[in-house]
Amino acid sequence: METSPSLAGPFALGTFSSGTGSAFPGLVMDDRVLDLSTYASSTRTLLERWDSALPLLHEVAAARSGEWLPPAELRVHAPVEPRQIFQSGANYRTHVIDLAVAHEPADGRPAGQVRAEVGAMMDRRAAEDQPYVFIGLPSSVTGPYDDVVIPAWCAKPDWELELAAVIGRAAFRVSPGDALGHVAAYTVANDITARELVFRRDMPEIGTDWLRAKNAPTFTPLGPYLVPSVFVADPGDLQVTLRLNGEVMQDESTKDMIFDVARLVSYVSQTVELLPGDLVLTGSPAGNGLHWGRLLRAGDVMEGTITGLGTQRNRCRDER
């Protein structure tokens, strides 16, 4: 279990269980966990009344009373059960350019030409303020230390570590200027992708197939914790780092995002109402497996860290 000194701010929230007991919300502080069941049944319940819950959490943390549990006795679950997940595609400039080159255009264009053309496309998207967002399934979420199960049908599983914004106050048709006021916390997400299924080769006119490519069970490791947004000085200046078996594969700042958190939250809210506990994933930086020519396989261990948000570790296993 990740210790709190690496976390931004004095405390964070998580979801835990002990033995065969039910999961409970917990306050994480000084490498100890306080059961918050007295105050709420889940972290999502706290998020639903975030304006009053946050001052309460400050009071509880300052009091330091109650029974604080040692981490070794607890299982760490995904920190929240979202009702909706919104995933941002093609939101890191370098990542998108690398992917375009790795997919090797059938028309034989040289890599330099592809990079220039995709770079121009990214600049145009930024100028036109048109993020690309699709829907993920909550059933794909798994815990920060749980196994990632590679389905028998998945030939090219890949990692995509991402910053996830967690909604507190419901948001509908909010402006970018007001959007961050609806973000209660941030956490770490890994958007595992079956690369061979992203594009429908049987129906190229239809385009992408995000259902099969990204939504298998365990394909969204989440957490370890929810770090309140008040403790994150600038979500646009965090380092996103993924190690595969100890080797750094992704190591990029959120400064490389085309659309920042505020613009993404605002964009999604123009169509749907964002609810407490919902996730807005902000896209993945460069350094995915397709870029390295080295995709996930059974036995691999992914370790994903974002500045101030803790570290998740997931071992891959074959469902067979």
| Domain extent listing, the chain | 4-77, 85-91+130-318
- Which one has a higher pLDDT value, 100 or 50? 50
Q: How does pLDDT run across 39-78, given as a tens digit for each residue?
A: 999 999 999 999 999 999 999 999 999 889 988 899 999 9
Distance separating alpha carbons of residues 16 and 28, to the nearest angstrom: 10
Region of poorest pLDDT, from 65-69, 79-83, 222-226, 303-307: 65-69
Name the more confident of 13 and 204: 13
- The per-residue pLDDT for 93 is 77
pLDDT of residue 2: 44
With CA atoms as reference, report the closest residue to 179 among 240, 268, 254, 258. 268
Q: Which two tokens stand for residue 83?
A: 């009702």
Is-contact 279 82, C-beta < 8 A? yes
Q: How far, rounded to the nearest angstrom, does the alpha carbon of residue 39 sit from its chain's CA centroid?
A: 26
Mind listing the pLDDT tens digit for each residue in 157-176? 999 999 999 999 999 999 99
Amino acid at site 129: D
Is the full-model pTM beyond 0.75?
yes
The pLDDT assigned to 210 comes to: 87
pLDDT tens digits along 101-141: 666 555 677 777 877 787 787 778 777 778 999 999 999 99
What was the pLDDT predicted at 115?
76
Q: Which pLDDT belongs to residue 114?
A: 76
pLDDT band at 208 (very low <50, low <70, confident <90, very high): confident
Q: Which residues, including other chains, have CB under 8 Å from residue 114's CB and lie 6 or more apart?
A: 97, 100, 101, 105
In order of 19, 203, 248, 315, the CA distances from 301 in angstroms are: 25, 35, 12, 4
% of the chain exceeding 90 in pLDDT? 75
What is the domain class of 85-91+130-318 according to CATH? alpha beta
Q: How many CB atoms sit inside 10 A of residue 307's CB? A: 20
∠ at Cα 271 (268, 273), nearest 5°?
75
Average pLDDT over the chain reads: 92
Which distant-in-sequence residues (6+ apart) come within 8 Å of 202 by Cβ? none
